[in-house]
Amino acid sequence: MSPVVASVGPVADQLGQFGVPYAGTLAQFLVFAGVFLFIYFVGQATVGPLVTRVMRARGLDEHARRPLQKLKKFLIFVVALSIAFGTAGFGNFLQAVATIAAAATLAIGFALQDVIKNFVAGIFIYTDKPFRIGDWIEWNDNSGVVEDISLRVTRVRTFDNELLTVPNGVLMSDVIKNPVAKDELRLKFVFGIGYDDDIEKATEIIIEEAENHKGILSDPEPSVRLVELGDSSVGLQSRIWISNPSRSDFVKTRGEYVTTVKQRFDQEGIDIPYPNRTIGGGLELDSIDGIAEPADD
């Protein structure tokens, strides 16, 4: 007697004694469900903690652990399903899946090409690590903080508290800016001053206010470059550095710094001009025939 018959037979006999219709089929499903649940939960209770310990021992961070945890659950599910399938007498699960997959390869290929593309892109995101969970990223006129990375999509919370679910293929095919990938970030801002104003004095003020701000690094030291001669202003670009950058630090530091420089400019009489436009020209008449003369009083 085969192990399958040995496992299903007693259950079918018990059901048959109580007059249950289709006792053999029902017994197969009961055996299938029991074996599947047993193996799945035992696997989660034993293999799950073991995999977690191995990942921690290897120093994997949350960015790398999440997809491996999902893959672990999927593999336990497949193993439990395969064993339960065979134990219940349904045949070889893997062989059945392979047969179905071979018959539907073309249709599945067309239907899942985007899914496969995003899946492969997700693998590259995990291996190349262009960004991590918690990073502030920008791409294609979008920006936000990465909340979750799965094998198919990445979820990004915008600064307006909107949740963007972005296919991984979109991120891997576009240019991703990650301002917080390094420990330091350079900020640039152009101050426009009048042509009659003292460039050296304005440069001195910009440097001093950078040195006085506690959030701006002294190494690398702040610098100023003349970058443009506009229609109505001279552009002085300030270059400053902040450490441990985040979106909030970026906005806060830049806002405070620009405000203090503007206040110093006002105190020192340095003008920040705005564009002026002069409209000129004349009106010519080819003929004045037909223009009425003013009536005499």
The torsion angle over the Cα atoms of residues 126, 130, 136 and 141, rounded to 10 degrees, is -110
| Residue 248 domain-assigned (yes or no) | yes
* Cα distance between residue 204 and residue 212, in whole Å: 12
Same domain, 48 and 132: no
Same domain, 129 and 189: no
Phi, psi torsion values for 7, nearest 5 degrees: -85, -35
When pLDDT is cut at 50, 70 and 90, the band that residue 76 belongs to is: confident
Q: What is the CATH number of the domain that holds 212?
A: 3.30.70.100
| Residue 58 domain-assigned (yes or no) | yes
Q: Which residues are registered as beta bridge partners of 192?
A: 235
Residue 6 has pLDDT above 60, yes or no: no
User: Given this model, what pLDDT does residue 181 score?
Assistant: 83
Q: What is the extent of the structural domain holding 149?
A: 121-172
Q: What is the CATH number of the domain that holds 164?
A: 2.30.30.60
Residue 127 has pLDDT above 60, yes or no: yes
Burial 154-181 (b: 16+ CB within 10 A, else e): bbbeeeeeeeeebbbbbbbeeeeebbbb
Higher pLDDT, 96 or 256: 256
The torsion angle over the Cα atoms of residues 47, 3, 16 and 80, rounded to 10 degrees, is 20
Higher pLDDT, 253 or 87: 253
Higher pLDDT, 141 or 10: 141
Same domain, 192 and 256: yes
| Residue 286 domain-assigned (yes or no) | no
Burial 2-39 (b: 16+ CB within 10 A, else e): eebeebbbebbeebeeeeeeebeeebbebbbeebbeeb
Residue 224 has pLDDT above 90, yes or no: yes
pLDDT tens figures, 241-295: 998 888 888 889 999 999 999 999 999 998 887 765 555 555 565 555 554 555 5
Residue 53 has pLDDT above 90, yes or no: no
16 SS3 class? helix
How many structural domains comprise the chain?
3
pLDDT tens figures, 167-208: 888 888 888 888 888 888 999 999 999 998 999 999 999 999
Higher pLDDT, 20 or 68: 68
Among residues 142, 134, 129, 126, which one has the least CA distance to residue 174? 142
Same domain, 16 and 57: yes
The residue written with tokens 């310990």 in the block is: 53
| Residue 21 domain-assigned (yes or no) | yes
| Residue 250 domain-assigned (yes or no) | yes
